[in-house]
Amino acid sequence: MNHRSRTLLASAGIVLIFFLVQVGTLALVEPFQQEGHQVVEDTSDPTISIAYLVAILAMTGLMLLAFKYGGESILRLAIIFSGAYIAFYVFEVLAPESLSVAVGGGPVNLLAVGGAAVVGLALYIHPEWYVIDAAGILMGIGAAGLFGVNFGILPALVLLTVLAVYDAISVYGTEHMLTLASGAMDLKIPVVFVVPITLSYSFLDDGGPDHVESHNEDGESEPLDRERLEALGPEGVAELDDAAFDRLESGVLDDLGDDLEAAVRERLPERDALFIGLGDAVIPTVLVASAAFFAESGSDISLGVASAPLPAVTSMVGILAGLIVLLWMVLKGRAHAGLPLLNGGAIAGYLAGALWSGLTLAQALGLESVL
């Protein structure tokens, strides 16, 4: 199997991971509500999205400060603990109630506690790619499900719209999301999904994809920007040493002519794995969960281990369609903001399914309670 075929297979693996997160979330939406995890009193209030957006921005700022001022160890422990804590919610729903014991006046499920502890220890001791992915799927299911039962349709739409705009600004404008992604790779924490392209790949030995770096930071040589590459031409590019391509500016390939782009791509090292953010799977799936819980649109459609109304299913389809376009763009050689495509696909798919199932536009947008 050649590198292109392996890359396509890895891309299919990412699509499968997203699908597992979506279906797993749908399976746990009702149990989460029954377990009392719906803590928001007015789930139709769009202002609850603002509170969560502020929390997300604050967390992003704290992570950037940790990378800048040497707080990586504390940050890594905090995220590992968060992963185990969210996994506990998932295991608590799946584990039999007969395994619960009374602790401090309330029941505690021993299997759920044990499962969460295994997740935390595995992430701390051996954060290989399959451990990261397994923990990420559990975290994605838990987080999207918890958000979904607390966010009505309108708050979910507001959340996805604002985060799509923020993601675009943070990747193409300020570029701080690229800095965040690079730092997260070094910590080996479950904030990304990692799908190997080569059998010998090890996430433990990998510093992450080169293209998440937005600038040349070594200060030793000038970056490979469009002007320099055009001055060199295809023949000059062929004579560059390999280290020069570590300083290739993000997005420069999109601005080159066909011959020069082909010459640069021929010198680039073949990637060993594909990476995509955990948030790219979680955030759009919030709308899927919200639609499954709050949309009143007739009979459900069976998805095997879960069932959901038409708007939730078409939202899933929209996310996966956006994901395929995103992967196609990323494989061209640069980092891209995922949420504009993924959230856009989720919203478009949801609205199509809602209107198709007979809801009015006001009902589909969750505006009936505020009009």
Confidence at 238, pLDDT banded by 50, 70, 90: confident
Looking at residues 9-26, what average pLDDT do you find? 96
Looking at residues 202-225, what average pLDDT do you find? 59
Percent of the chain with pLDDT over 90: 43
Confidence at 213, pLDDT banded by 50, 70, 90: very low
Question: pTM for the whole thing?
Answer: 0.83
Looking at residues 124-141, what average pLDDT do you find? 95
pLDDT greater than 50 at residue 216: no
What are the start-end ranges of the H helices in the chain? 3-34, 47-69, 72-94, 110-125, 129-150, 153-168, 176-187, 226-238, 258-267, 278-294, 310-330, 339-356, 361-364
pLDDT digit string, tens, across residues 159-189:
999 999 999 998 888 777 777 777 777 888 8
DSSP 72: H
Supply the pLDDT for residue 170: 86
The angle at the Cα of 59, spanning 53 to 60, to the nearest 5 degrees, equals: 90
* C-alpha radius of gyration, the chain, whole number: 22
pLDDT greater than 80 at residue 303: yes
For residue 211, which amino acid is it? H
pLDDT greater than 60 at residue 236: yes
Q: Quote the tokens at residue 323.
A: 């994901």
Looking at residues 205-214, what average pLDDT do you find? 55
Phi-psi region of 32 (alpha: psi -120 to 50; beta: other; left: phi over 0): alpha
Of the CA atoms within 13 Å of residue 365, those in its CB half-sphere come to 9
pLDDT greater than 90 at residue 231: no
Selection from 277, 302, 34 nearest residue 170 by Cα? 277
Supply the pLDDT for residue 349: 97
CB 44, CB 155: distance < 8 Å: yes
Cα–Cα distance, 170 to 357 (Å, whole number): 36
Looking at residues 111-137, what average pLDDT do you find? 95
CB 369, CB 44: distance < 8 Å: yes
Of the CA atoms within 13 Å of residue 277, those in its CB half-sphere come to 23
Confidence at 248, pLDDT banded by 50, 70, 90: low
Q: In the block, which residue shows the tokens 């297979």?
A: 9
Supply the pLDDT for residue 217: 44
Looking at residues 146-152, what average pLDDT do you find? 92
Q: For the ranges 78-82, 142-146, 299-303, which has the lowest average pLDDT?
A: 299-303
Percent of the chain with pLDDT over 70: 86
Supply the pLDDT for residue 212: 47
pLDDT greater than 80 at residue 131: yes
Cα 78 to Cα 57, 85, 135, 346: the distances in Å are: 17, 10, 15, 30
Supply the pLDDT for residue 221: 54
pLDDT digit string, tens, across residues 349-358:
999 999 999 9
Biggest distance spanned by C-alpha atoms of the chain: 75
CB 281, CB 193: distance < 8 Å: yes
Supply the pLDDT for residue 245: 64
CB 133, CB 195: distance < 8 Å: yes
Confidence at 268, pLDDT banded by 50, 70, 90: low
Cα 96–chain centre separation: 30
Of the CA atoms within 13 Å of residue 344, those in its CB half-sphere come to 15
DSSP 208: -
Show me where the domains of the chain are located. Answer: 25-195+277-364, 210-270
Cα–Cα distance, 107 to 114 (Å, whole number): 15
Mean pLDDT of the chain: 85
Contacts of 338 (CB under 8 A, 6+ apart): 167, 276, 277, 280, 326
Q: For the ranges 272-286, 304-318, 324-338, which has the lowest average pLDDT?
A: 324-338
Looking at residues 247-257, what average pLDDT do you find? 66
Selection from 287, 19, 279, 40 nearest residue 145 by Cα? 287
User: Phi and psi for 308 in degrees, rounded to 5?
Assistant: -155, 155
Supply the pLDDT for residue 218: 45
